[in-house]
Each structure stands twice: as structure tokens, then as C-alpha cells.
Chain A
Amino acid sequence: MRILVVEDDADIAAFLCKGLREAGHAADHAADGRNGLFLATGEAYDAIVLDRLLPQMDGLSMLAALRATGSRVPVLILSALGQVDERIKGLRAGGDDYVVKPFAIAELLARIDVITRRGLMPVAESRLRVADLELDRMARVVKRAGEVIALKPQEYRVLEFLMRHAGQVVTRTMLLEGVWDYHFDPQTNVIDVHLSRLRAKVDHAPWTTLIHTLRGTGYCLREPQ
């Protein structure tokens, strides 16, 4: 994919571009808002990574100007401002997702993956299926190899989130934001405990492993290769 990075800090920009290229994307860089807007309107990008505090034109103004031209390119806002209200402001201005600095490159890549595929995903699909794992969203029933598995509401929501993002990397932060209604700092490794419990129910031997742990990043639920 072709991705535009709008970031004024040269080190962070270089780190971002390198990370994106290693993940197989083509990355362009703009160091200020005006230049970023110029590139974003002139070229066809699959996604934009946008810093909030920029010289010339701040990130949110640039985003508003970009959206005013009718562009619907997915935008991931990058910011040191992590307050809940700042986040809401960013999403309201037309951002598709919001990542708080400092961040891990894996987190960023996973989120870019999600926002660029959002348009392709059938949101209202009532039946999700990965290999022999089935989830009926109408009846709220989960089956593995035809066998009905009883899940607690919380486990069900985690599994639903993973299946909706099947094949994509899902980070712990994404799980927190997607499954729980609260914006909070998870403290210890509670998420991992939730996942291991879910696995014990839907992903244990002799079934083929579908939920994979990616060390230092998160999880991925995918078809066996």
C-alpha cells in the first residue's frame, strides 16, 4: 500500500517510514501540514499517518481541509495528547483511528491494516466463520467443529472482535478499545488471561490452533496455512 507520513520530527518520521517499508508498504513523507495537504490532495494514497502538532498547519486543520475536498482516504492520527477528549476531538475531525505517542511500530501497522480494510469488510454479516470456528451473531452461538461452546458474554465479545478482524493483527490496546466500553489503562496482563481462557474453550487440542500470539504485539486469529 502507498502511505503518506505527515510528521515534523525527523527521527520519528524516519522510524515510521522504515517500519512501513519493511512491512511492504511504500511510504512518502511530508514535514509540515501544508506540504502534507498538498501531497494528500495531489497523489492517491491508501492511508495517511498524521501527527497532530505540526508547523505551518496543525494536523486537525489539515485533516479538516482534506475532508473538505471530499477525500475519504483512511487517516490515522498520531499524537502525544492522550486524554479521552483529545481522542474524541481527533476522531470527530475526520480521523479513522487515534494512536498515542509513544507507540510501538507493530501497533501502528496493525491499526493501519484495520483502517485500510474497513471499507472492504462486510460489517453487518450475521455469521462469521474461520476454518471450523463459527459465530452466529444473531443467535449469539459459537460452534467449533459443529460443537456448541458456551461462552461468557465477555469471552463472546473478545472472540467476535477477533473474528471480525480475522487475518489481521489485533493488539492488546485494540482489544481493550473494541471490547470494553471504558477507556482505561489495563494495569497487569489481564488481557492475556482473558485470551488464554478463551483459548481453553474454543481453541484447544485436538483442534488446529487458530488464535496465535504475536510476541510483543498482540494476537491474530487466522485460517491454518
Chain B
Amino acid sequence: MRLRLSTSARLTLANSALLAVAFGALLLLVTWLADRFMAGHVQESVEAELRIMESEFNVDGVHGVAALIEQRMLIVSPNHDRLYRLEGPDGSLLAGNVMAWPAKAPAPEQPFKMPSRRFPGVTVVDLRWAGLSDGSRLLVGFDEIEVAQVRGDIRRAALWSLGAMLLISLSAGFLLTRAALRPVEAIRRAAQRIMEGDLKHRIPVRSGGDEFDRLGETLNTMLDQINRLIASVRGATDNIAHDLRSPLTRHRARLEAALRDAPPPDQLQPWIEHNLADLDKVLATFQSLLRIASVESGLLRQEFVTCDIAQLARDAADYIEPLAEEQQQQLVVQVTAGAPLPAHPHLLFQMLINLLDNAVKYSPPGGAIVIDAHATETGWRLAVADTGPGIPLDERGRVFERLYRLDASRHTPGLGLGLSLVKAVVDLHHGTIRVEDNRPGTRIVIALPFESLPNDDA
């Protein structure tokens, strides 16, 4: 079974475990050092006792030593196990509490250990012996009770402090990580609200500017972008509803009328063709709206390739030229070669066709149309000018709206979508577009930058 833990809990536990391991290692080191120090200390005491006994022997002889041993055995505390044996050259016990010479005793002045008989299992006794000059032997042993006690004390203290440290580290860690991760929870809650339908809601961003704030800002920008896309789709659907309903209503009315009163057989063919043409226009409008929406989505930026804009402009002019010629209009192509530009060739071609088509449509017979394309330091400048009636100043901003027609009576053919697509294509390339007065006529000027600004995703 896998235990699922929050990030906060995982971080805290990992941190505490690390601390505990480090603390354990420290504890082992301290215990080992204390052991060594204490054991050395007992051995030194044993040796010092031997030296004292030897001095006593030098002053008062064997009897002095025996008296000293007796005296020592009287004052030894009941919590200690101290061993003494003074034996004569013949091996007889002269003083002390060790009945027989230990079998495992090594050479004189060599420390050795034996289990304590008084506290078996609890401690050991450190021993050492020395030969006296008259041939008698002196054995002294002190217990290591204190070593065990100190070791126990250290362990207890360590366990307590380990417990306290773990408690502090766990609680502090939990509180700290929870505080640090609080923005994540805030982001989650904000996302929840947005999912529940509050599309205007945004992730709260503090002024600190840390990683979470930057994440929040990026997410907010993303949400804004999504909102814009939704709005553009919604705008497109609104206009579809508005502009497609009327021809469809007409179409429906005609069909209904035919159901009641069928057109005479000789008029049936033109009647059907009329209806088909109507439907085709509806479908064309629909197609154009979808296309504009897809261009506005920005997804087509993935299809950008390096384009020769001069060639594109010449191709577009070539394509439109017969149309201008038919109107006895003069098509002037002013194109100079320049650096290539990453762009969507099909959409740029479509954009130029739309502009040129408009120019031909609105210029009077015998008028002039100028297409101008040249590279500047920052990008390409494209301009299409006509000698038509021009666009009034107050309407120049509105001509890029979907289905907007200058000619309110709609005498000239067209869907009112050509310039919307132009605007969408310009936006796709992070360019700018403006309408100028050509005196007489209109000049539409487009600037396409070489370097697309990454934040300018409008």
C-alpha cells in the first residue's frame, strides 16, 4: 500500500529524518569518546593506587601496605566493587578481598579486565598488578560503574533532546512548509472558482515577486488570453447569428411559399439556382467567419515559414491585374526586394488579395491602384492605395469589424469580412495596420515586424 502524503508532510518528514540521522551520528561519537575517556580514567586511578601502595611499601614494608588495604576496604562505598590482594612470596593472602590470584592475570603493569563479582553483568573491573621488591605481589582493581552511569546519563539526555528536537523540527517544518505552499492552495482555489464559472476571477498575486507570484502572473496572462479567444469566438457567433439569420429567413420563407404554391415548371430551374446561390453565400460567410476565428486563435503561427514578401506582393498583383484591366484601372506595382520574413504565405497572399480586390472594387473605372512593398529596418511595410471615395475619418476604426459595411445599402457585392481577415492576419504576424487618406481614396498601410514581440499576443 502506498501512503499518499502532502508535499508539506513529505518535506517535513524528510527534513526531520535527516536531522535524526545526523543527531544519531553525533550521539554515537559522543558516547564513544566519553567511554574512552572514562575507561582511561579508571585505569589511571588503578595505576595511581598501585603507586601509592608501592610508596607505602617503601616506607612501612608489607605491613604498612596491608594496613592501608584494610583501611581502604573499610571506606569503600557499597556501590563500588574494588578489589585488592596482597600476597606473600609463597602465594598466601596477606590482605585484600580477592581469595585467589586470577588465572588470567597477564604480566605485571599490564591492565586487564574481569567481570565484577559484586555486580555481575552490570560492570567490569579494571585490574593491574605489581611485584614488590621482597617477592610479594600486589593486585588492585577498580570497577567501571561510573563509566556505565555516565554512558546512561548521556543516552538519556540524548533521547530527551532527540525527542524535543524531532517535535520542534516536525511542527516547525510543517508550519513553515504550509506557509510556503499557501500560494499553491490559493492558486488551486482560484482555479476552482474559475472552473465553477467565474471566468473573471484571477489568481491573487502579491507584490513580493517570488516564484509563486511569477507563476500566478503567467497563469493570469494565460487566462486573459483564453478569455480573449472565447470572446472572439463569441463575437464571431454573435455576428453569424446576426448576419446569417436574415438570408436564412428569406430562404426559409421562399421554400415555405413554394410548398404552398409551387413555382411553375418553366421557372423551377432558375428558382432552384437562385436558392443555391443564396445558400452558397451563407456557406461562404460561415466559412470566412470560421477562417477569421482560426486566424485569430494564433494557432496558425506554427505554420510560419520564411517568406519572400516582395515575391508574394508581385504574385498577388499578378493575380488581381486582369481584374483591374477589366475596369481600365492602372495597377502600379512598387516592390523592392528585401530580407525574408517568417510568415504564413497563404494568409499573407489572401490578405493582399482582399486589399487589392477592395481597391479594384472601390476605385472608379480609369482609376489607379498602387501596391507598395519594401523592407525597412524593423520589418516590411506594405501599402495598398486606391482612388475610390475613401473612408470617412470616424469610420476608419470600424472597417475591421466583422460584417461591417461602409455601404449600408449593400449595393457592392461582398460579405463585409475581407478587412476583418486582413486585420486578423496582421495581428497574427504581430503587425500594425492603419487607414490613411490617399487624397483621393484610401491607403491601407501595414507594418510587419521582423521580430515578433512575445508578449504582444493580442
Contacts and interface: CB of A to CB of B under 8 A. Distances in A.
Interface of A: 82-85, 102, 152-154, 180-188, 190, 193-194, 197, 216
A185 B418 CA distance: 10
B283 interface: yes
Given A185-B288, A194-B322, 6 more contacts: A154-B318, A182-B345, A184-B350, A187-B418, A188-B323, A188-B357
A84 B303 contact: yes
B303 A182 contact: no
B354 interface: yes
B133 to A, nearest CB: 111
9 contacts: A82-B287, A84-B303, A182-B315, A183-B346, A186-B353, A187-B357, A188-B413, A190-B323, A190-B357
B134 interface: no
Contacts of A181: 315
A154 B345 CA distance: 19
Interface in B275-326: 283, 287-288, 291, 294, 303, 315, 318-320, 322-323, 325-326
B349 interface: yes
A190 B319 contact: yes
B287 A184 contact: no
Nearest to B283: A102
Given A85-B303, A187-B418, A193-B323, A182 B294 contact: no
Interface of A (DSSP majority class): loop
A184 B349 contact: yes
B277 to A, nearest CB: 9
B384 to A, nearest CB: 14
Nearest to A197: B322
B377 interface: no
A185 B349 contact: no
Nearest to A82: B287
Interface in B321-365: 322-323, 325-326, 345-346, 349-350, 353-354, 357, 361
B456 interface: no
A59 B276 CA distance: 29
Interface of B: 273, 283, 287-288, 291, 294, 303, 315, 318-320, 322-323, 325-326, 345-346, 349-350, 353-354, 357, 361, 413, 418
A180 B315 contact: yes
Contact of B350 (A82, A85, A185): A185
Nearest to A216: B273
Contacts of A190: 319-320, 322-323, 357
Contacts of A197: 322, 325
Contacts of B353: 184, 186-187
- 10 closest Cβ pairs, A-B complex: A182-B349, A184-B350, A193-B322, A183-B346, A187-B357, A197-B322, A182-B346, A193-B323, A194-B322, A154-B318
A154 B319 contact: yes
Contacts of A180: 315, 319
Nearest to A179: B319
Contacts of B325: 197
Contacts of B318: 152-154
A176 B323 CA distance: 16
Contacts of A216: 273
User: By CB atoms of chain B within 10 A, which of A84, A187, A194, A216 has the most?
Assistant: A187
Contacts of B315: 180-182
A190 B354 CA distance: 12
A185 B284 CA distance: 10
Nearest to B354: A187
B350 A193 contact: no
B95 to A, nearest CB: 108
A187 to B, nearest CB: 5
Contacts of B283: 102
Contacts of B273: 216
Contacts of B357: 187-188, 190
A54 B315 CA distance: 39
A65 to B, nearest CB: 28
A181 B273 CA distance: 32
Contact of A185 (B291, B294, B320): B291
Contacts of B287: 82, 185
A194 B325 CA distance: 10
A152 B321 CA distance: 11
A171 to B, nearest CB: 14
A194 B319 CA distance: 8
B255 to A, nearest CB: 17
B322 A184 contact: no
